[in-house]
Structure 1
Amino acid sequence: MSSSLLRRLSVGLAALTGLLGTSLIGIRAADAVTVPILVADVDSGKVIYAQAPTDPWYPASITKLMTTYVALDLVRQGKVSLDSMITISAAAAAEPPSKMGFKPGTQLTLDNALKIIMVKSANDIAYAIGENLGGSIDTFAAMMNETAVRIGMRDSHWYNPNGLPDPRQWTSARDMAVLARALIRDFPDSHDLFSISAIQFGRAVMPNHNGLLGRYPGTDGMKTGFICSGGFNVVATATRNGRRIVTIVMGQPSPRERDVKTADLFDYAFGQSAGWTSPTLEALPASALPAPPDMRPFVCGGKKPPAIEDGPGALSAPGSAAQLIGGSAANSPALALAAFSNPALRARSLPPRAPLQPIAVWIGRNPAEGQQILESQEAEQKAAAANTRAAKLEAAKAKRLAALEAAKQAREARAERAQAAREAAKEAAKTTAKPAPKLAAKAGRPLPHAASAYTAVETPSMPEAKPGKGLSKPAAKATAHKPAPAKAAPAKESTGKSAAKKPAAKKAAAEE
């Protein structure tokens, strides 16, 4: 055996051992579910490696391969052309991301629409393709199912053209291999559609979500997909030495693990030859599973969904939880987590991506018309932004004026209330005013006995003696009965003087 053959065989066995290493964890447990994996030769349809190839699975955006086949088939039949205009409806514009975000009424050619869904995986554009080519989404889905049966797909059920979650929509790894071969066989002139590394719309450059393009030698297609319920899926083709291999990997927990596992499978497949004993895609037995498993607990869990390329991770299609390795039925989170935590996959990575080579896409019938539309839309956006700013400034000015007027009215109201309060106080003072009490008693009327303590009492002085005459008694009596003066002294001073004069009065009386 030659050294080169031994080297290829050893690389292939190592890759397969690394790929299936975690599978050994789950083999001990009965009734586990395997994530679908399939590797086949494109020309012969011979199966090189298969793992649950016919089990039902949620396809996510690899659905857009089916949408593209139907569209190209209509072009081949002459019913439409690649220059046919696709109009974005309100329903299409409302589809969740990933999307281009075109306004309802925007038009673009079918050719540009197909490039966009293959690279950007825009759900709004795929929906618009279905509406325009089928007349309605239901009619286009019927066309998808009819075409799938005609080209040999037997496990698929289609209900929308973009792959957003629908519990009724599923496929299998075998069916996607059949579809990939049909696209390559029936539309050889459109093969470049599946290997575009990036598109450029205006100034925006959008790379292809297929992480193998520009990183794994020989990769030339096709499409990725992701929803929480289906995990990260890929349909990939690669060519080496004139031999083309198609690899389908589904249900992976991240884009990186999906890409690494697919690269390992390519390495293994290119080191193998599909002999006459290898089964064909048509010979693979049907699955016993009645419906796809739901990978949400293992891919998204209770955490924030991972970065998504084909739709909001919050959406899911209901189903049963799945184990990852083994036989036929369903439910062991421990096995699932064990298989998803493969140390070998965590440690590996692909080389850096080659420089992108963007392909221009546009809205309208041609680039010039598209540029005019973009400039018109940009002018409208600038005008709308200017109007919005002007409206905000006017609203702020009106608010300030209203606040100033309100403050002025409040001050005037307070002043009026204060003035009214002062006037009310004056009126109240006039109404309740009383005359001041009289402090002095009327003339000729003696003071009450009780008031004597508060009235100034003047002690009669000794009369001046005349020569030869003594004091006369009547004069002393007259002085004793002299009426009190009309003006009363302050109470405290009267009390003091009265207390001071009493001994002198007694002395005068004694002398008499």
Structure 2
Amino acid sequence: MLNHIIGRLSLGGLLARAVSAAALLGAFGGAASAVTVPILVADVDSGRVIYSQAPTDPWFPASITKLMTTYVALDLVRQGRASMDTLITISPNAAAEPPSKMGFKPGTQLTLGNALKIIMVKSANDVAFAIGESLGGSIDNFAAMMNDSARRIGMRDSRWTNANGLPDPQQWTSARDMAILARALIRDFPDDHDLFSISAIQFGGAVIPNHNGLLGRYPGTDGMKTGFICSGGFNVVATATRGGRRIVAIVMGQPSARERDVKTADLFDYGFAQDGGNGPGLDALPGSSSAAPPDMRPYVCGGKKVPAIDEGPGAVSASATTAAQLVGGAAASSPSLALAAFSSPGMRARTLPPRAPLQPVAVWIGRSPAEGQQILAQQAAEAQAAAANVRAARLEAAKARREAVLAKRQAVQAAAKEAAAQKQAAKAAAKASGGVPRSASAYTSSESASMPEAKPGKGLTKAKDAAKPAAHKPVAAKPVAKPVAAKPAPKPAKKAAAKSDE
């Protein structure tokens, strides 16, 4: 469903409709507004437009913002207000920026030259933020410098609030403005254009490839920058040179890095097949009726987890078939037919050829590679010591836990022994008491003068009856009988009484 929606937003719906690519619209359900993703192809030298759709509509730029950051930095160097050796400091705020990032600690310093290489290849948000803070004094001041430079070079549709392109509802640009910026970077800083075509950087032992999936895959690609946020989709500003002619292509709002790269390559194929002098100039494109960019988050990311990096992987394999070949050469005379080829099954399954071997460019922190190595060695030693301290603390905590468990177990065992000893003592005391005391016995000796003579077979019963309390029943007083001389009890009764005492 997502691919179907985005396909209608981009160039995929053209084959079925056979209409002009500039009229392509996609509906986001129900009452939502129709949206056309911005696309533009222009000749760099002349500034003439080869193809465009929604070229002045506002759009969230994501990390292609870093091209504007780079323009301001290079312009300060040109004015003598900074140099490529100017130290950029990573502040706590810069270090706290979300990925993509280098992860430098607060207080880390690196030269502006290395910082620019890092943001062009790694698209590091922490480093771009630090460039803005260090050169502008604050991000707000640097954003004001970005806006001033944008107006001066002819960008009419852009508003900048930060230096790295992280989501901000108040920051946007347009495809036309990014084409103007690309031309200005090439025109104003010809000695620095290699900055945009670095295939990889090497920092310490790590090699980090460029997020631009066209570099080393599409012949002639020599820049510039990719970007991704959910609200803007996958964007790219790319340049390529063939036969001494350079073309810039801007593709925005794509659902994946692969589709962005493939469609840009096909636009290059189409552009190189055209005469670059027939279209209108970038300045002649009419303004947009849209007041603010659309939010593509529900359609690009939906409920999916956002990619771990802000660019996404580039295309990694496959076919060299071009758009012009797929439409039998009709692309040379018909942009509608050429762009309609995007919806064919062959196009949807296509990716770019494998990337050429990387040629990493070394970057470092500090003023020089030697100083950078010393800093890295010191940081490695500190990290090793910190890891050792963490391990020692964990072992100590584990030992404390074991001792606490053992102490608790011993306390439970001691309490159990104490309870058993008390129970045993209670049993011994009960046994020593001998049961019911003789004075409390319910039986009376047969020699008692007050006992009537016992008869054989009835002595036990009468003895039990005598033990009952007299208070249960009132007994009427009887006349006192005359004393009768006691007679010796019969031998059988004496025998029975003795038996009852046992």
For normalisation by structure 2, the TM-score amounts to 0.78
Alignment of 1:320-339 (within 5 A): none
Alignment of 1:106-121 (within 5 A): 106-121=108-123
Matching residue within 470, 482, 488 for 2:495: 488
Change (3 A) 1:19 1:247: farther
Matching residue within 418, 441, 447 for 2:446: 441
Name the residue aligned to 1:217.
Answer: 219
1:19–1:264 CA contact under 8 A, matched in 2: no
Alignment of 1:10-159 (within 5 A): 20-21=14-15, 32-159=34-161
Change (3 A) 1:344 1:53: farther
Alignment of 1:420-431 (within 5 A): 420-424=422-426, 430=433
Name the residue aligned to 1:163.
Answer: 165
1:255 is the counterpart of 2:260: no
Name the residue aligned to 1:478.
Answer: none
Change (3 A) 1:69 1:20: farther
> 2 CA distance for matches of 1:380 and 1:130?
29
Structure 1's consecutive aligned runs of 4 or more residues displaced over 6 angstroms after TM superposition are: 16-19, 28-31, 339-342, 443-447, 490-493
1:260–1:349 CA contact under 8 A, matched in 2: yes
Name the residue aligned to 2:283.
Answer: 282
Q: CA deviation at 1:415?
A: 2.5
Q: Alpha-carbon deviations, 1:64-86, whole Å to 9, x = none?
A: 00000000000011111101111
* Alignment size in residue pairs: 427
When structure 1 is superposed on structure 2, of 360-369 and 483-492 the one drifting more is 483-492
2:445–2:497 CA contact under 8 A, matched in 1: no
Q: CA deviation at 1:18?
A: 7.1
> 2 CA distance for matches of 1:490 and 1:221?
125
> 2 CA distance for matches of 1:214 and 1:300?
28
Q: CA deviation at 1:127?
A: 0.3
Q: CA deviation at 1:442?
A: 1.4
Change (3 A) 1:29 1:114: closer
Alignment of 1:157-306 (within 5 A): 157-275=159-277, 277-306=278-307
> 2 CA distance for matches of 1:164 and 1:66?
14
> 1 CA distance for matches of 2:269 and 2:137?
44
Name the residue aligned to 2:370.
Answer: 368
Q: SS at the partner of 2:118? A: helix
Q: Alpha-carbon deviations, 1:404-441, whole Å to 9, x = none?
A: 22222222233233333444555677498421745751
1:153–1:175 CA contact under 8 A, matched in 2: yes
1:22–1:342 CA contact under 8 A, matched in 2: no
Alignment of 1:383-462 (within 5 A): 383-424=385-426, 430=433, 433-435=436-438, 437=441, 441-442=446-447, 448-449=453-454, 451-453=456-458
Q: SS at the partner of 2:164? A: coil
Q: SS at the partner of 1:40? A: strand
Q: Structure 1 unaligned runs (5+)?
A: 1-15, 312-338, 456-480, 494-512
Alignment of 1:374-385 (within 5 A): 374-385=376-387
> 2 CA distance for matches of 1:358 and 1:450?
125
Which amino acid counterpart does residue 293 of structure 2 have in structure 1? P
Change (3 A) 1:381 1:22: farther
2:43–2:247 CA contact under 8 A, matched in 1: yes
Which amino acid counterpart does residue 410 of structure 1 have in structure 2? V
2:102–2:124 CA contact under 8 A, matched in 1: yes
Q: SS at the partner of 1:54? A: coil
Q: CA deviation at 1:395?
A: 1.5
Q: SS at the partner of 2:491? A: coil
> 1 CA distance for matches of 2:95 and 2:25?
49
> 1 CA distance for matches of 2:50 and 2:386?
59
Q: Alpha-carbon deviations, 1:167-186, whole Å to 9, x = none?
A: 01000000000000000000
1:40–1:46 CA contact under 8 A, matched in 2: yes
When structure 1 is superposed on structure 2, of 93-102 and 407-416 the one drifting more is 407-416
> 1 CA distance for matches of 2:51 and 2:375?
50
When structure 1 is superposed on structure 2, of 47-56 and 404-413 the one drifting more is 404-413
> 2 CA distance for matches of 1:27 and 1:113?
40
Which amino acid counterpart does residue 296 of structure 2 have in structure 1? M
Q: Alpha-carbon deviations, 1:83-104, whole Å to 9, x = none?
A: 1111100000000100000110
2:455–2:492 CA contact under 8 A, matched in 1: no
> 2 CA distance for matches of 1:227 and 1:482?
119
When structure 1 is superposed on structure 2, of 419-428 and 122-131 the one drifting more is 419-428
> 1 CA distance for matches of 2:12 and 2:300?
21
Which amino acid counterpart does residue 411 of structure 2 have in structure 1? Q
Q: CA deviation at 1:50?
A: 0.8
2:99–2:308 CA contact under 8 A, matched in 1: no
Q: SS at the partner of 1:247? A: strand
Change (3 A) 1:361 1:451: farther
RMSD over aligned Cα, in angstroms?
3.1
Q: Alpha-carbon deviations, 1:438-492, whole Å to 9, x = none?
A: 575118898645554569xxxxxxxxxxxxxxxxxxxxxxxxx983168525999
> 2 CA distance for matches of 1:23 and 1:422?
98
Q: Alpha-carbon deviations, 1:287-326, whole Å to 9, x = none?
A: 1111111111221112223464349xxxxxxxxxxxxxxx
> 2 CA distance for matches of 1:17 and 1:36?
11
Identity among equivalent positions (%) equals 70
Change (3 A) 1:72 1:451: farther
> 1 CA distance for matches of 2:144 and 2:16?
40
Name the residue aligned to 2:472.
Answer: none
Change (3 A) 1:344 1:207: same
Name the residue aligned to 2:310.
Answer: 309
2:459–2:493 CA contact under 8 A, matched in 1: no
